[in-house]
Every structure is written in structure tokens, then in C-alpha cells.
Structure 1
Amino acid sequence: MTAFRRTFLAMSVVLLIITNSTTIYAKKPAELLKAAFIRNGDLWIKAGDNERQQTRGAYILNPKWSYDGQWIAYTKGENEQELWLLQVQTGHSHLVAQEGGRNFQWQPNRNSLAFLTAQQLNWIDSDELAKPKKVAEGIGNFSWYPDGSSILVSTEAKLLDNEWTPIRIMKIPLTANADPTRFETLHVLPKQSDDFFAVGTSIFKWSANGRWIAFLAKPTASLSADGNTLCVLSADGSVFKTIDQMVNNEMWFEWASKDETLAYIEGVGREATTNKHLKVMRIPAGTSVSYTPKGYVEQNFTWYGLRNIVTSRSKEAEWSIDPAKRQFPYLVNVKLKSQHQKLLTQPSETYGDFNPISLPSHQLAWIRSNRSYSNVIVTDPQSKNAETWIENIDLGANYYEQRNWNTVLSFFIRK
């Protein structure tokens, strides 16, 4: 790429469309931001205007910050199996597990990391970096409780004598010391039938008030690519509800930052180019409301305060194996109460705006990409000015245009 081309691209992405006729240019919206990102397969950190490369010649993905920003967990290797920890202050990295990179999560209030190896749940404290401790076996998926005191887990169903074993959702206190007698079963999912068929779950996401848990009930691998059941469970396990059908994408359902309102992208079929609609529902008694106009699809979204959602939207089109024939998305601000929708960005025909991210102080970030070259854009606290903050990050994981940019970008946001 020529120097002129790089300069032109950098200049072209500072445009944020607030109305159809008004453009405002960038000043310095990103001075206090911090992020980990992947460039050319290596891990980098950017804080304000300073970039620092952390690895060399590695194949790094999936950076995740600890709650206080002292550590970053990441995967290494083309199969994303090795699990590593980076101490940010020193720059030193430590191998945690040879096969722990498929599913790992930081404790919400401590620098401890839980991860799965096969179906064994383990955890390690970064202050000790000793041998990981086994928590439980036979685990399909998990998430921390919001207060970090326990881990919520699900088992996987197995086909025995032509009958599926049940899926149990259990609470495991960290003090249980791998003692199954101390595991509390919160709920057993419905038996497999024509109306409900699942053999496992996704991770679990808690409502802001801690009363509800959202998750996907997933059928077998081939079926889960096209359709899964979005469910909610009360925190005590007494109330279980199925909400809707959607693809196997854990980024596509999120609670609001307060109350019990759940947003998600509904629609079966693995292709993100058709039948993907933004819906919002108040749990448990509300009905879902769709905000996607006919002829359009949503490719990702973020809550933007309590009454707005910013979504990455494109025109609906049949799937094409030719990337050049797939529509590029742009950003739209959806006002939930009035249902008024406003165009936020208008990239060129050869670029799209992906993966909106809400940041503190009412800032907004997203990725502008032509599916080959990608930059991170951020706005100022008033969400008026925009600038290119990080240039040339790697592409996020892609599955039929379901693009997971979390594999290459992670902002540090203190809770």
C-alpha cells in the first residue's frame, strides 16, 4: 500500500455523519482510552497516543483484560489452544495451559482466570501463577457470578441407550474444592423434544440487577450453526423461559446496563446477510419489539445508554461466496422509546462500519474495514468528533459474515 493510499484512508475515516448534512472533524477523542489489539498476529497495547508491541513472531488472538487492567489473557497458536497471561507493567508472559484457550474468563473482582480444558473446569490466580486448580469435571460451559464468589456451569447432554441425559445448570462456590456434593443444581433444562432440543449451552450473561440469566440452549454442532434457543433463567433457578430463535453467536444478546431489558439479534440461518433482526424485550413479562426495517439486517449492536442502541446494519441480500458482492454495513442509532432511527456513519462504497462498542463518558468506537484493511475509530465524549485511533488491526474471526472482532480487539473498561 502506498503512502498516499494510507494517508487517504486515515483521512477518510475521520468523518462521522451526525445528520445527513452535517460533518464534524476530529480533535482528540481518544486520549484516555486503553486497548489491546492484534496486528500481524502479534499482541499490541495502545494507551492514549502510545502504542507498544508485546509479542513478536507469535500467532496471538483473543486478548482479554483482567478487571483492574494489570493482566491480559490471550491465546497463542493457530489452533488457539495455548492460554497465556501477560503482566502489563513488566511485559512478561506466562504459559497457563497447553490447551486452555478455547474458553476462558476473568473473575469479575480479582485477577483470577477460569478456563476449560476439554470438559474440566480450572482456575488460576495470577498473584501465584502456580499450577491451575481443578474446579469440576463434565462441564460444558460456564460464567462467573457477578460478585466473583461462585461459577455458574452447565453440563452437556450425552446420548445413552437412545436417550439424552439432562442438561444441568449448577452453582459452584470456589470453596467447593472440586467436591460435587457441594454443587447446587439451580435448574434442569427441559427434556429433549420436537419443541425443545439442546445438548449444551452458551456462556451465561447476568442482568444488571442480578435477577436474570440469559444464555443459548444449543443443539448438536451442525444444527447450532443455524438455530439456537435464547433462554432466560431466574437467578434462583425457579423460573425458566424460552425467548426466541437465533444463531450461535454469544455477542448477539446483551442486557442493558440497568433493569431487566434484553436486546438480541433474532433469526435462524448461519448467513448474517439475511433474516437477522434487532429485538428488545423486557424480562420476564414483556413482549419483544423489532427495530429492523424490512429489507435490512443487523450484523452487531451495542447498548448506548439506557434508551438507545447503536447497530451495524446493511441491506439484506442473498448469500454470495464472492465477498465483493456482500453488502457493507453502516451505523444507525436506534431510539427505543420513540423508535426513531438516525444514520450515524456513511462510509464509502468499499468500506463498512462494524462492531460498535460503547465506551465510558458516552464515547463510541467501531471498526471501519474493507474486509482486508481495518482501523479502529472512536468519538469524543459528546459523540460528535471522530478519529482513527488504531490503524491496521487484523481481521476478526469470520463465519458467514458473522464477524467476531473480539478476537483481535479488547478495550479496557473499568467496571
Structure 2
Amino acid sequence: MVFRIFLLLLLISSYLPTMASAEVPLTAAFIRDHQLWIKKGDKEIQITKDRYVYGQKWSYDGRFIAYNDGDEKGEKTNLWIYDTKGKESYLPYVRIETSDFKWSPIKNQLAYNSRGILNVTKEKNGRPEGFENVSLGVSGFEWFPNGKELLVSSQSSLRPTGWGPIPLYKVPVDANLNVKKIKQFYTIQTNKPDLFAVNADYFKWSFDGKWVSFLAIPTASIAMDSNTLCVLSAQGNNFQALGDMRWYEDWMKWAPRANQLAYISGEGRFHVENKKATIAEMPTSTQQKVYTPVGYVDLDLEWYSPDKVIVSRAKENKEWKEGPVPTMFTSLYAINLKTDEQKQITFPKKNELDEDPQVVGTYLIWFRKRDKEFKGDVWVKNGLNGQEYIWLRNVDNAPIFFNGSN
């Protein structure tokens, strides 16, 4: 009997280090009960109270977090900034109404679109504060990798002959509404049915800055079903339309060290079928490969390494035709691009689904929730074969991690 107790204690002690590994070198901004929190290692800190926070984004060096303080109806979207050094939230200006804001890749400066006016923050006492106008007539935008210019789109115009082209511009940060400083970058010809769109947005640069991907977005009702994924060279002289997809920004991601673009292809607003993990090799869009097996759908993706892609996969449901849209019970799979091997790596329980895979260093992170519930837990494991465990409990959605390349 004593020997059995000794063995039991030995087993428990051998298990404790695995549990202790939950203290990992990760830093995340997350939302719980609509409030902004930060977790670093194993320490959680609540930042806001009695607000409705969403859209949190880290500055390039991790000192600041910009976020929206809004309301449940989405009628109020004031921009706030939390200073992790000063440990306080503040308004960068008396009132900034925007939901489209992005940090500079080289400094603590915010660019934001407010009702078609593109602005950038000034600096005061080492913090982004105040603002300067940059350009008018802006629909979508993104920083150039050098942090000195912005790639800007303007919505096409409706003429008696139909919708016109979509112009893209290269705008210096210090343009200050001076149209002489703004240069035409590329014009997207939208000739239906080959490519019908009225807007361009969700710009993402490849790892070396040689390509930018984005969605060419049609009118609202059509955009619910299909948008055109496009790529454009950094010189603005090589444009390619890759394929159709839904308008989810996270459904397209560049490889960490190659000009490969992974995306979820397929038309249709319902996720029961026709959603395929696809990888396009640049510089030619004809080199594309679909990795989703027959009978399945992939509903999110993330690069784990140059040779491995993580997807959130479920069995397709072609039987569904009407009524409430069925829940797609996803789990995570790893795709080895070199060997074509595909392996399930997470195993949620019945009525649970794993979604929003993220990778920070060697850590794989995902959001697990139960069917019909909005809140869930954040799970982590170090390496694809590591021990998985809960890192955050009862959060509203997947966190935003600071990894030095936000």
C-alpha cells in the first residue's frame, strides 16, 4: 500500500512541470467582458472598466495599444491609446471616430481613416498625440514597409456606363493634403465579369516587401459571397488576380520567409462547403495548389513555419439547404508542404470547436469554445507535438499577441 502511494506521488510530481509550463513568454492584449486586459507570462492585468472595447492593436515596439471604445450597436467608435509605460489610457485627440487604424511599422505613429480623411498622429512627450491630415477621398489604406509612405485606395465612381476603375495611390506621410505630393500607384480595371469590384482593402505585404495582397471588393450584397484576391508588385507594374474568397482578412497570409500566399478560396457566404486552403507561388499566380481534402472545409489558417501551415478544418455539410446555418465543428490540422502529409493536432470534445490559430515563435495558440457560446478559452502548446493547456479562460475572442512584428 505504501509503495502504491509512493508511485502515485511520483506520477503527480512528474506531471507538475507540465502544468507549470503554462507560464510561457507570451504577451497578449485580450478582451474579457468587453474590457481590455493584458497578459504577460502568467500575470493578467485589467486595463479598462465599464467600457465596450474592441479592435486592440499593438504598436511596433509594444509600448502602446490602440483600441476602440464603442458600444454594442457599433454607433460609437472612439480611438483610445493605452500607454504600458505610463500605465494609463488616453485620447490622442479630443475625439477621433474611426474603426480603421494602423500603427507605423517603424515608429509609434498611428494612421487612421475617419470618414474618408486619412490622418496620422503627431508626437508629444514621446507619445502619439494630436493629428495631421494626409489625404482626402480614402477608402482603404496600409503603410508601406518603409514607414514613410502609405498605400491608399479610393472607391470607384458610378457612371452612366457602369462602375469605373479603382485607383491606388502612393501617399507620403507628410503629404498634408498637398495633391502634388500624391502619386498614382496603380489603377485596377474592373471589367465585369472578369473582375468586378468597387473598392480595394485589407492590404498585406509579403515578408520582403516585394508584393502586396489585397481584396478587390464588389458591392455589398455580392461581397457577402465573393471577393477577388489580388496581388500587386511593390513597383506597381505586375498585377494579378488569384481567385475568389470571402472578405475575411485573416483568411489570407503570406509565408514567413517566401513569396507564398496562403488563402481560403471559394465562393459562397455559408461555410458548409467550398472553402479550400490554397497556396499561390509568386511571381506567377498560375502556380497554385489546393490542400483541403475532398469532403472537408478549411475555415482559417496560419503559417507555423516555412514548410508547415495550420488550418482550422471541419467536415463539409452539403446536406444543409435551409434553416439555421449549422455549426462547423473545426479542429486544427498541420499541413506539411514538402511531404503533403496532413495531420490532426487538436482534439476538441463533442460540441467544441477550435478556431483562430496563431503562431508566436514555436508556440501554437488557438481559441476553443462550445457550440452556441461566444466566449471561450485560449489554448497553447509549444511545438506541434507539445503538451496543450489553457492559457486564458473565459475571454470574448482570440487575443492579439505582441511578437515584435505587429
Question: TM over 0.5: same fold?
Answer: yes
- Looking at structure 2, the residues matched to 230 and 327 of structure 1 have their Cα atoms a distance apart, in angstroms, of 24
Secondary structure of 1:153 counterpart: strand
Q: Which has the higher contact order (CA 8 A, sep 6+)?
A: 1
- Equivalent residue for 2:402? 412
Residue 176 of structure 1 deviates from its aligned partner by 2.2
Secondary structure of 1:203 counterpart: strand
Match of 1:91 among 79, 87, 90: 87
- Equivalent residue for 2:8? none
Q: Write out aligned runs for 1:359-398 (5 A).
A: 359-360=360-361, 362-370=362-370, 371-380=373-382, 383-394=385-396, 396=397
Q: Write out aligned runs for 1:252-263 (5 A).
A: 252-263=251-262
100-109 or 31-40: bigger deviation: 100-109
Change (3 A) 1:344 1:196: same
Amino acid at match of 2:269: R
- Looking at structure 1, the residues matched to 173 and 328 of structure 2 have their Cα atoms a distance apart, in angstroms, of 47
- Equivalent residue for 2:292? 292
- Looking at structure 2, the residues matched to 59 and 65 of structure 1 have their Cα atoms a distance apart, in angstroms, of 18
Q: Write out aligned runs for 1:151-170 (5 A).
A: 151-170=150-169
- Looking at structure 1, the residues matched to 145 and 98 of structure 2 have their Cα atoms a distance apart, in angstroms, of 22
CA-based RMSD of the aligned residues comes to 1.9
- Equivalent residue for 1:67? 60
Amino acid at match of 1:207: S
Amino acid at match of 1:393: V
- The structure number with the bigger radius of gyration is 2
Whether the 8 Å contact between 1:201 and 1:216 is mirrored in structure 2 is yes
- Looking at structure 2, the residues matched to 45 and 319 of structure 1 have their Cα atoms a distance apart, in angstroms, of 42
- Looking at structure 2, the residues matched to 75 and 271 of structure 1 have their Cα atoms a distance apart, in angstroms, of 29
Change (3 A) 1:351 1:320: farther
- Looking at structure 1, the residues matched to 148 and 268 of structure 2 have their Cα atoms a distance apart, in angstroms, of 37
- Looking at structure 2, the residues matched to 378 and 320 of structure 1 have their Cα atoms a distance apart, in angstroms, of 36
- Equivalent residue for 1:338? 339
Amino acid at match of 2:387: N
- Looking at structure 1, the residues matched to 114 and 287 of structure 2 have their Cα atoms a distance apart, in angstroms, of 39
- Equivalent residue for 1:185? 184
Secondary structure of 1:223 counterpart: helix
- Looking at structure 2, the residues matched to 59 and 320 of structure 1 have their Cα atoms a distance apart, in angstroms, of 34
Secondary structure of 1:168 counterpart: strand
1:362-387 per-residue CA deviation (whole Å, 9 max, x = no partner) reads: 11100111134400111125751221
Whether the 8 Å contact between 1:310 and 1:331 is mirrored in structure 2 is yes
Change (3 A) 1:315 1:53: same
Whether the 8 Å contact between 2:122 and 2:132 is mirrored in structure 1 is no
Residue 26 of structure 1 deviates from its aligned partner by 4.4
- Looking at structure 2, the residues matched to 320 and 332 of structure 1 have their Cα atoms a distance apart, in angstroms, of 29
- Looking at structure 2, the residues matched to 242 and 364 of structure 1 have their Cα atoms a distance apart, in angstroms, of 31
Secondary structure of 1:176 counterpart: coil
1:144 paired with 2:143, answer yes
Change (3 A) 1:319 1:389: farther
- Equivalent residue for 1:124? 121
Query: TM-score under structure 2 normalisation?
Result: 0.89
Secondary structure of 1:313 counterpart: strand
- Looking at structure 2, the residues matched to 143 and 96 of structure 1 have their Cα atoms a distance apart, in angstroms, of 20
Whether the 8 Å contact between 1:319 and 1:326 is mirrored in structure 2 is no
Match of 1:57 among 50, 62, 67: 50
Whether the 8 Å contact between 1:328 and 1:351 is mirrored in structure 2 is yes
Aligned residues: 378
- Equivalent residue for 1:214? 213
- Looking at structure 1, the residues matched to 368 and 321 of structure 2 have their Cα atoms a distance apart, in angstroms, of 22
376-385 or 55-64: bigger deviation: 376-385
Secondary structure of 2:130 counterpart: coil
Unaligned runs of 5+ in 2: 1-16
Match of 1:82 among 78, 85, 103: 78
Amino acid at match of 2:393: E
Secondary structure of 1:186 counterpart: strand
Aligned-pair identity in percent equals 34
378-387 or 49-58: bigger deviation: 378-387
- Equivalent residue for 1:108? 105
- Looking at structure 1, the residues matched to 344 and 156 of structure 2 have their Cα atoms a distance apart, in angstroms, of 45
Residue 95 of structure 1 deviates from its aligned partner by 2.1
Change (3 A) 1:176 1:131: same
1:36 paired with 2:39, answer no
Unaligned runs of 5+ in 1: 1-23, 397-404
100-109 or 314-323: bigger deviation: 314-323
- Equivalent residue for 1:9? none
Residue 414 of structure 1 deviates from its aligned partner by 0.7
Residue 321 of structure 1 deviates from its aligned partner by 5.1
Amino acid at match of 1:314: A
1:323-367 per-residue CA deviation (whole Å, 9 max, x = no partner) reads: 7x423110100011211001101110121111110111x111001
Whether the 8 Å contact between 1:28 and 1:380 is mirrored in structure 2 is no
